[in-house]
Amino acid sequence: MKLKKRAVASVALPAVIMLFLGIGFRGDDDIYQKIGRNMDLFGQVYKEIALNYVDDIDADKFMEAGIEGMLGTLDPYTTFIDEDSRDQIDLITTGKYGGIGVTVGVRDSQFVITEIMNGYEAQKRGLRIGDVIVSIDDKDLNNEKIDRMRGLVRGPVGSSVKLTVQRDGETLDFMLTRQEIILKNVSYYGYLEPKDRGIAYIRLDRFTTISESEVENAIKTLKSEGDLKALVLDLRDNGGGLLDAAIGILNKIVPKNSLLVITKGKRADSEKKYFSDENPMIGPEVPVAVLINERTASASEIVAGAVQDLDRGIIVGTKSFGKGLVQQIRDLDKKAQLKITGSRYFTPSGRWIQEKNYFKENKYGVFIEKDKYSQSDFRTLGGRTVKALGGITPDVEISVQAESDIHSALMSKDMFFKFASNYISLNPGSGPVAPDDRLFEDFKAFIAQNGFSYDSRIEKKLNELKELATSRNYGNDFENSLRKIETQVETGEAEELNSAKEEILLSIFNEINKLQENEAEQIQATFPYDKQLQRALEVLGNTPEYNGILGK
């Protein structure tokens, strides 16, 4: 990263900065008088409750609740960070944390290990995918939230943690030593088949301090291994990270001296413009497609927004998340920090892409200027119209099937993993599977044999209506009508499984491959069935269409 005096800030979570005094606000005297008066009032309320309330109060938790209450009147990203949450800062800014090398998810209301990372403690000690975590350091996990549970697994490097798991009806204890876990930012790169097309693919999962170097190394390797004629940059499910990382990566693909992003804070002199200051590794003659979806956020949107506004490439997928705010971390004391929204960012055309309107949704009225950022359409460098607010709208919109109720139910009951485990035990060494009709029929037979039951939303509402009708004595005619509807609902539910076939097959496919393939092989296996990727490849391979989308 060669930008001179580049601000160390993040769109998701930034590096720590110093809190300088003497910031100039409009009406300084008035605001400081209000701060002083309100601090006195807050202190008096806190002291009275802590000392005189009828029941004993945990003074620390009471203060934290007060802080959370105040911050809850602001945007969703301004939060209080206590000592137990600091590992999240390290994870998102550096991609490192102290842990044992597992990914945990909620399956059938239980905490289940869904991934084991190669080379780390969990793998070495014999933990397996599918193990159900029942306690951590003998602490029962009933009623724990997933974020809290993950915090119990993580901790200082070198410290010990005891996991008690259930596996095949047996309870097992594991004593593990936490290691420094280093997450890759680029989870995959390579040429897509057929390789003679020269279309390279890079999947970037997060923006940390080493993201730029990983992308740079990927591009260097790709150029050394073949003739790089086009690039797909996959930012789907990338929730963002450091602003500097986004700027550094844009430097690799956009022309030198291009405006990349603008940040603006409260003060009139706070505006900063970030420009590319390098000759790109991939020149403008190489077409680019950026893949985004509804979980593409923050720094990812800065990259996608710049590529779109500069007409450097096409954006393919579904509309992004819409986070147009920049946070900074300020130390409060040795144990606590404040993640505070200090500025907004704007794409090169001047768009603010914030989706959640926290100005108008706020019921406490703490914001003075509610209509400060009413925006209209903007223009790209080449004159195309692009929209403000609500995330980045793709140039080529390819929707994917939304998660159905029955898919959610199958996932929550852990049926995909159970079927995958059973399938592999019956077909050892079978290698990658094809998501075809035979696999789907096998799955339907499996869930029937294992007693899978599912109440759709309409069935739940129907049950509520039946209870209400009984309590109100609506009579036999009404009950008979409900029975007819119930029969129709049961018929419809039987068809739901078939209607969600494509979505269900892909989950089965991914779960089977996860159990027998490495990460790169798992990603590669999805390419033929990835509609958004395949559409991007079509456009990249059709120069007139690509140029037409960009208005050339």
Same domain assignment for residues 103 and 250 = no
Structural domain includes residue 87:
no
The pLDDT tens digits for 321-340 are 999 999 888 888 877 888 89
Token pair 């599977």 is found at 433
Same domain assignment for residues 196 and 176 = no
Structural domain includes residue 529:
no
Residue 483 confidence class, pLDDT cut points 50, 70, 90:
confident
Range of the domain at 497: 405-517
| Choice among 252, 319, 323, 514 that is catalytic | 323
Same domain assignment for residues 463 and 327 = no
Final residue of a domain: which of 182, 204, 230? Answer: 182
Q: How many domains does the chain have?
A: 3
Same domain assignment for residues 375 and 513 = no
Q: Is there a catalytic annotation at residue 10?
A: no
| Choice among 131, 244, 309, 395 that is catalytic | 309
Same domain assignment for residues 7 and 73 = yes
Q: Kindly report the pTM of this predicted structure.
A: 0.82
Same domain assignment for residues 45 and 167 = no
Q: What is the pLDDT of residue 7?
A: 40
List the CATH number of the domain containing 197: 3.90.226.10
Q: What is the average pLDDT score of the chain?
A: 85
Structural domain includes residue 248:
yes
The pLDDT tens digits for 382-413 are 999 998 878 999 999 999 877 888 898 898 78
Structural domain includes residue 90:
no
| Choice among 211, 298, 300, 507 that is catalytic | 298
Residue 89 confidence class, pLDDT cut points 50, 70, 90:
low
| CA pseudo-torsion sign 41, 44, 46, 49 | negative
Q: Is 204 in contact with 233 (CB distance < 8 Å)? A: yes
Q: Which is nearest to 392 in space by CA: 324, 489, 467?
A: 324
Give the separation between CA 34 and CA 202, rounded to whole angstroms.
51
Q: Is there a catalytic annotation at residue 234?
A: no
Structural domain includes residue 357:
yes
Same domain assignment for residues 227 and 159 = no
Structural domain includes residue 189:
yes
Q: What is the pLDDT of residue 19?
A: 29
Same domain assignment for residues 361 and 231 = yes
Dig out the tokens for 526 from the structure: 């999805």
Share of the chain above pLDDT 90, in %: 49
Structural domain includes residue 435:
yes
User: Which helix (DSSP H) or strand (DSSP E) does residue 415 occupy?
Assistant: helix 415-426
Same domain assignment for residues 195 and 172 = no
State which of 387-391, 418-422, 464-468 shows the largest mean pLDDT.
418-422
Structural domain includes residue 1:
yes
Residue 493 confidence class, pLDDT cut points 50, 70, 90:
low
Same domain assignment for residues 104 and 164 = yes
Final residue of a domain: which of 377, 399, 421? Answer: 399
Final residue of a domain: which of 182, 216, 251? Answer: 182
Same domain assignment for residues 393 and 437 = no
Q: Is there a catalytic annotation at residue 298?
A: yes
Give the helix ranges, DSSP H, for 169-318. Answer: 211-225, 243-250, 299-309
